[in-house]
Structure 1
Amino acid sequence: MTSPTTIYTNATVFTGEAAIAPRESFAVRDDRVLASGDLAAVRLAAQAGGAPVTEVDLGGAVVTPGIIEGHSHMLMLGESLSKVQLRDAASIEVVQERLAAARAAAPDAPLLLGTSWLFDIFPEGERPTAAVIDAVVPDVPVILDANDLHSVWVNTKALEAMGITRDTPDPVGGEIVRDAQGDATGFLLETAAMQHAWGYLDSVRSEADEDRYLAAAFDAYLETGVTGATEMSFGEADLAAYRRILDRDGRLPFPVNAHWLLTATGDTATDVAQIERIVRERDAVAAQYGDAWLRITGVKFILDGVIDACTATMREPYANGALPGAIWEREFALPMAVAADAAGLQLALHAIGDEASTIALDMVQECIRVNGPRANRRARVEHLESVADDTIARMAALGVTASMQPVHCDPAVLDNWQAVLGDERARTGFPWHKFRAAGVPLALGTDAPTAPHVAPDNLFIALTAESALDRSREAYQPERVFTPSQALEALTLGAAYATRREDELGRISAGYRANVAVWAANPLAGAPAELLGTGAALTLVDGQVAHRREA
């Protein structure tokens, strides 16, 4: 007998493509969309075969394919939800107050973690120091992630716990900031933050902690209408945590595409050996679990740092004269990219500065030269905050996806970003409109937890160029904004295309997996500000209710 069917009626159904007018209903049978269209046609499709049919009235809500988070760090997001939140801390004193309060509230905790402090709180020319934290929490390690997750501020106890001394060398692509005497000051940049701070946290957290963090991230995303994610810092700990869920449940709460984070070692043979390991893990996961839920699809290169810390790789110097090189120099980046590409691994290339995105496209072009054209290569460049027009034209010619995050240009977090650039580049960042005009494929995400993970707030910024954090701020270059249908396509079908899953995800269309978000506010026709602070009224994953918002 044919399986029962549910028809969802009285809705505005955005199917995933901006060029297609919304439908009024859709039907789900088992884990798939059976049909979408006008109600009479959907009822005919549902009644074929004599299956029992249930109708659900959605009260006029807007329905879209579930959001596919274009760039995320799931374990970090789940962990960050329990950290001391510092994104809205407007001064060093506020940071100190929050740390002192958190320590008083948990006096037996073995360490204290915080997240999302902004460079703006430091007077010009000053940088974070351990002494500032020691003044309020001197007795346990304190580790505070910057808002961009590319640097870490720690206290003296944390430096001791991480084993950092005068003799500890800077890793390739990173810096342990030191004073005139050579002692670490408590500020770790780029790969120094990843290897020392993140490595230390990996060593002290338990499997139970990791499972709790991952569950919290899935729940947080489902509440905001997200039904898929693109992991961008995947590694050993992440894989073990995902395996535990798959072994227990046989599935994940929603599909995840993972990019394994590569480490620049400065030695080509050592670099390339990483690819061999990733391929073994990719093939083992596919053989054991299939790829419906977890797919190790590619590798992540962090080519440069971030503009706020003046570590992003630019063509011209920053206002302070700095002109840092890339974390992955071409000498090592090109052969590594070719090896990954030859193994069928998708390239995800973190490039925030305009010179870094030039290197990224050189890598893609070298892959094409050595390995030949391939229709599903789907190379992608992440962030593209300051990018030259010639790079955008090259991306269009090479078919490279622009993976961008509207929440990264919330005007409330741009003061320092603009100040350190100090020239015309401060006014021409995040050029969404130029990518659209050039025909570059776009995928939108949040890069959580470097920014809030909430999809409606991310969409609000895409539609307005205004601030979701401080409504008094003026819009940043509002000529860049998306129309609602353009933004929704980039959040759904665009992100599915970028992950090579557009044949099963990103559309409300017959045969597609029934991953659906019913919005609590109207993203198509309502005032954009009405999106702020909302989530999903209903989230479906493979046709089953994964989240239902309480009235």
Structure 2
Amino acid sequence: MTSETTIYRNATVFTGEATVAPRECFAVRDGLVLAAGDLTSVRLAVGGDAATPPPGVTEIDLGGAVVTPGIIEGHSHMMMLGESLSKVQLRDAGSIAVVQERLAAARAANPEAPMLLGTSWLFDIFPEGERPTAALLDAVVSDVPVILDANDLHSVWVNTAALAAMGITRETPDPVGGEIVRDANGDATGFLLETAAMSHAWGYLDSVRSEVDEDRYLQAAFDAYLETGVTGATEMSFGAADLAAYRRILDRDGRLPFPVNAHWLLTATGDIASDAAQIEQITRVRDEIAAQYGDQWLRITGVKFILDGVIDACTATMREPYANGELPGAIWEREFALPMAVAADAAGLQLALHAIGDEASTIALDMVQECIRVNGARADRRPRVEHLESVADDTIARMAALGVTASMQPVHCDPAVLDNWQAVLGDERARTGFPWHKFRAAGVTLALGTDAPTAPHVAPDNLFIALTAESALDRSREAYQPERVFTPAQALEALTLGAAFATKRETELGRIATGFRANVAVWAANPLQGAPAELLGTGAALTLVDGQVAYRREA
């Protein structure tokens, strides 16, 4: 970082607040925003006169581009994103046959690879009543483990070699909150749900992954985000392997490519004492990291509870049954969730509560209410509920009353990925999902993100869906409930200042204003006044982190 001053002029500068008119330019010095306003005022602020800047001040003409605070990714899985970029991509595979073709081609292209990994297959490719099986994968790749993450990262499809490598047998018990799907004989079929996917598939991959791999994946995620104007991330599946990789970067560079707020992923054990031990360990690690590195770059801010699954797999916890009659319980039942939340809250850990089904979000707010009852009211609590895909009106009203942030992901309701989502609900709930407009009307703070790699990480595509309710993947699709859409200013605030507020960094990030860190995105397209479709496939023209160029798009 240098003490040079730079004025960025001839721009439309969105400050981060939807109600504040855009500025004309801004100045940066020592990694901070020095001033933002019209060119004359900014020149005067840096010590010049109305006509010219003082000696030593550089002026850069942005050619009329839209400038915003850097996007703060509201919900991400950084290492998984980096790893997913090198996997076989299956989100646009429209059938089982296409999945098989891609796997066969990938195996032929790299016959020495010890395993084959894929990501983002959709439930839509399976005929009604059918599920993934190892046999379908064995038909094309049987000599090495094949491990395929579902698009939502809540289930995994594997072949027989992978089941063997993971040590799954008839005797392997289902973990709390998960299922190893089995046939009539009790043999695993190759489909792992929820915590079974996490403990077996992801646990296996953790055991065979090297530190070099982890560092490469993490750097790939930082690079991919910076290209789309992201200058901060909220890490939602943090654990020991992630911590070690982040520490290696901090030890090497003294900083990260951009600030990261981490929520440690909790495991439901079914034992209150074991659950409580997790809180003690996380609190200790949080304090050690803060003492060693400070909190400018990496902050372990809270814990993540995965209260339920996902609607596509009929594992999200609903108040009423799915179309097939199923009504699954929560991964964290109240008897364990409430005391665990109280313990985390007492330790000063922020609650991030994955709740996709309407009953799961009810449990989430019961947890927040219990924290208030036991630990008392506290202004800095900042609880947040993640996803909220199917949510009841009474829950939205409760969130407003309790000051709970709604962390939502527009890319999750891209119409191209909603067919199965709507079919398994089968009733009015299929038409009332993702009610952004109701949260806004109730005054609930919104923080937008992508949940990458469960969905594309590209910020302009995410914004496009927020503005249109249309598909970034298949432009022929009709909009899903377009009455929900954001105005550009509303969406940009939720992507910047809203996400900063949700991470308790709103006094340093999320605004282009005097004294804030100069984390800034210069957009290649115009998100404020251009046609939303012009955003698709674009990224940042320029990304600044603490005033320094972190990414510049080639001309």
TM-score class normalised by the smaller sequence: over 0.9
Amino acid paired to 1:29: R
Match of 1:332 in 2: 336
Distance of 2:548 and 2:367 partners within structure 1: 41
Distance of 2:536 and 2:340 partners within structure 1: 42
Distance of 1:352 and 1:517 partners within structure 2: 31
Amino acid paired to 1:41: S
Distance of 1:364 and 1:145 partners within structure 2: 31
Match of 1:498 in 2: 502
Match of 1:522 in 2: 526
Distance of 2:277 and 2:365 partners within structure 1: 23
Q: Structure 2-normalised TM-score?
A: 0.99
Deviation at 1:55, TM superposition (A): 0.1
Amino acid paired to 1:243: R
Map 1:54-69 → 2, pairs under 5 A: 54-69=58-73
Match of 2:272 in 1: 268
Match of 1:30 in 2: 30
Match of 1:16 in 2: 16
SS at match of 2:46: helix
Runs of 4+ more than 6 Å apart = 48-51
Amino acid paired to 1:544: Q
Map 1:73-222 → 2, pairs under 5 A: 73-222=77-226
Deviation at 1:192, TM superposition (A): 0.1
Map 1:347-496 → 2, pairs under 5 A: 347-496=351-500
Distance of 2:58 and 2:406 partners within structure 1: 41
Amino acid paired to 1:278: I
Distance of 2:543 and 2:264 partners within structure 1: 28
Map 1:306-321 → 2, pairs under 5 A: 306-321=310-325
Deviations 1:274-300 (A, max 9, x none): 000000100000000000000000000
- Pick the aligned partner of 1:296 from 290, 296, 300: 300
Distance of 2:535 and 2:395 partners within structure 1: 33
Distance of 1:446 and 1:50 partners within structure 2: 42
Amino acid paired to 2:275: D
Distance of 1:502 and 1:242 partners within structure 2: 23
Distance of 1:369 and 1:30 partners within structure 2: 44
**Residues 5 and 51, structure 1, Cα contact 8 Å, conserved in 2:** no
Deviation at 1:47, TM superposition (A): 1.9
**Residues 521 and 534, structure 1, Cα contact 8 Å, conserved in 2:** yes
**Residues 465 and 478, structure 1, Cα contact 8 Å, conserved in 2:** yes
Match of 1:5 in 2: 5
* Alignment of 1:284 onto 2:288: yes
Distance of 2:74 and 2:253 partners within structure 1: 25
Distance of 1:22 and 1:320 partners within structure 2: 50
Amino acid paired to 2:221: A
Match of 1:253 in 2: 257
Structure 2 unaligned segments of length 5 or more: list them: none
Distance of 1:51 and 1:476 partners within structure 2: 54
Match of 1:42 in 2: 42
Amino acid paired to 1:364: V
Distance of 2:380 and 2:56 partners within structure 1: 40
Distance of 1:341 and 1:3 partners within structure 2: 40
Deviation at 1:51, TM superposition (A): 6.3
Amino acid paired to 1:458: N
Distance of 1:3 and 1:434 partners within structure 2: 46
Deviations 1:149-195 (A, max 9, x none): 00000000000000000000000000000000000000000000000
Amino acid paired to 1:185: T
Distance of 1:153 and 1:476 partners within structure 2: 29
Deviation at 1:3, TM superposition (A): 2.9
Deviations 1:8-67 (A, max 9, x none): 000000000000000000000011000000000000111269662000000000000000
**Residues 3 and 52, structure 1, Cα contact 8 Å, conserved in 2:** no
Distance of 2:4 and 2:198 partners within structure 1: 50
Distance of 2:342 and 2:419 partners within structure 1: 38
Aligned residues: 550
Amino acid paired to 2:9: T
Q: Percent identity?
A: 89
Distance of 1:549 and 1:483 partners within structure 2: 27
Distance of 1:133 and 1:47 partners within structure 2: 67
Deviations 1:402-449 (A, max 9, x none): 000000000000000000000000000000000000000000000000
Distance of 2:361 and 2:327 partners within structure 1: 15
**Residues 153 and 186, structure 1, Cα contact 8 Å, conserved in 2:** yes
Distance of 2:35 and 2:289 partners within structure 1: 32
Amino acid paired to 1:329: E
Distance of 1:499 and 1:272 partners within structure 2: 24
